[in-house]
């Protein structure tokens, strides 16, 4: 059974910690061991002071009310994760669930969500490392609306990369394939931003645009292939799904062509499309990566 430590606003003091509505790790090093859960109850704001070290190899459970505030140069590290959850039942702007550093904006209700943050670099193409910060955002996409995401990082998490080159990416797994999210990097503010209609799942930043493309793409609703081609791409709908709309984006995020679907089977002719990485969106929320030769 996973050991569990509960912290409330009435929690007794631990070494280098002070409590109230705010809980502070003022100095020294605190380690949360693998297999251990620390749960913050009662809307605590856990502040990590400059120079203090929190190594999380377990789980920090924030729920929907607690939060973490990290000082620059003193982010949480370790092989564990932090978890926040909530319900964004109305349009929202600049919401930072749990203080985990992923700031979200959408002009529509997102509904319930789960957000996990981790600290180990993820891989693209088996060898290209991301920054030492990733998120897993589980929520249902809202048709016709994109989610604006601002990923804040600490300079110590750059993993040797140039912050000016950072680009947001998403994937359904921790190992890719990774989908480039058009946006902007702002090194002076330690953030990288982008907008995407989802699904989102795993999010992180690489210092280059990742173009790893499988030979064919499939999800629960559509099959697309070949995804590496010099001319024709075929789209097949599964079950009762239908192709209503499609959009083709280049690697900069610019929409280069779009159209209305033709039922459950159609082809796209890419013969006159410039060579390079492309992103195909079907019915706004189904995303496939293509490579035009």
> For the chain, what are the domain ranges?
4-206, 217-292
The β-bridge relationship of strands 243-250 and 232-237 is: unpaired
Nearest alpha carbon to residue 209 among 256, 247, 177 = 177
In the structure, what pLDDT confidence band is assigned to residue 43 with cuts at 50, 70 and 90?
Answer: confident
Reported pTM: 0.76
Asked if the model's pLDDT at residue 141 lies above 90, the reply is no
User: Tell me, what's the pLDDT at 253?
Assistant: 65
Q: What is the pLDDT of residues 154-194, one digit of tens each?
A: 999 999 999 999 999 998 899 888 888 878 999 999 999 99
Q: What is the mean pLDDT of residues 236-254?
A: 84
Top pLDDT among 117 and 249 is at: 117
Return the exposure string of 229-264: e unless at least 16 CB atoms fall within 10 Å of the residue's CB, then b. beeebebbbeeebebeebbbbbeeeeeeeeeebeee
Q: What is the mean pLDDT of residues 243-250?
A: 89
The least confident of 33-42, 72-81, 145-154, 272-281 is 272-281
User: Tell me, what's the pLDDT at 177?
Assistant: 83
CB-side neighbour CA atoms (13 Å) of 115 = 27
Mapping DSSP onto H, E and C, the string for 34-59 reads: CCCEEEECCCCEEEECCCCEEEECCE
User: In terms of CATH architecture, what is 217-292?
Assistant: Sandwich (2.60)
The least confident of 102-106, 212-216, 217-221 is 212-216
Q: What is the mean pLDDT of residues 109-129?
A: 95
Percent of all residues in the chain with a pLDDT value above 70, rounded to a whole number: 90
Lookup result for tokens 């969106």: 281
In the structure, what pLDDT confidence band is assigned to residue 224 with cuts at 50, 70 and 90?
Answer: very high
Asked if the model's pLDDT at residue 75 lies above 70, the reply is yes
Question: Long-range contacts: 234-239, Cβ < 8 Å, 24+?
Answer: 234/265, 234/266, 234/267, 234/268, 235/265, 235/266, 235/267, 235/268, 235/280, 235/282, 236/264, 236/265, 237/263, 237/264, 237/265
| SS3 of the chain: helix, strand, coil, percent, to 5 | 5, 50, 45
Asked if the model's pLDDT at residue 2 lies above 80, the reply is no
Top pLDDT among 130 and 213 is at: 130
Angle at 46 between CA 40 and CA 49, to 5 degrees: 155
Asked if the model's pLDDT at residue 231 lies above 50, the reply is yes
Percent of all residues in the chain with a pLDDT value above 90, rounded to a whole number: 62
Asked if the model's pLDDT at residue 24 lies above 80, the reply is yes
């Amino acid at each position: 059974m996973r050991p569990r430590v509960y912290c409330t606003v009435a929690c007794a003091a631990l070494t280098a910690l002070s409590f109230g509505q705010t809980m502070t790790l003022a100095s020294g090093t605190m380690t949360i061991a693998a297999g251990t859960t620390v749960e913050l109850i009662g809307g605590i704001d856990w502040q990590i002071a400059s120079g203090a070290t929190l190594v999380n190899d377990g789980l920090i459970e924030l729920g929907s009310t607690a939060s973490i505030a990290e000082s620059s140069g003193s982010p949480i590290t370790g092989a564990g994760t932090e978890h926040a959850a909530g319900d964004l039942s109305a349009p929202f702007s600049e919401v930072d669930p749990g203080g985990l550093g992923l700031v979200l904006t959408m002009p529509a209700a997102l509904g319930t969500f789960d957000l996990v943050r981790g600290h180990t670099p993820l891989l693209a193409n088996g060898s290209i490392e991301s920054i030492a910060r990733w998120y897993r955002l589980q929520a249902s996409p809202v048709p016709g609306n994109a989610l604006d995401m601002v990923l804040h990082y600490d300079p110590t998490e750059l993993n040797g990369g140039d912050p000016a080159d950072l680009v947001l990416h998403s994937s359904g797994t921790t190992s890719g394939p990774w989908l480039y999210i058009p946006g902007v990097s702002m090194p002076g503010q330690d953030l990288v931003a982008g907008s995407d209609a989802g699904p989102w799942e795993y999010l992180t930043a690489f210092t280059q645009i990742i173009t790893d493309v499988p030979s064919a793409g499939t999800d629960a609703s559509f099959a697309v292939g070949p995804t590496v081609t010099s001319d024709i791409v075929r789209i097949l709908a599964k079950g009762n799904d239908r192709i209503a709309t499609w959009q083709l984006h280049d690697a900069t995020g610019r929409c280069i062509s779009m159209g209305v679907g033709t039922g459950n089977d159609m082809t796209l002719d890419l013969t006159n499309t410039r060579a390079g990485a492309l992103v195909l969106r079907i019915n706004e929320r189904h995303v496939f990566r293509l490579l035009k030769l």
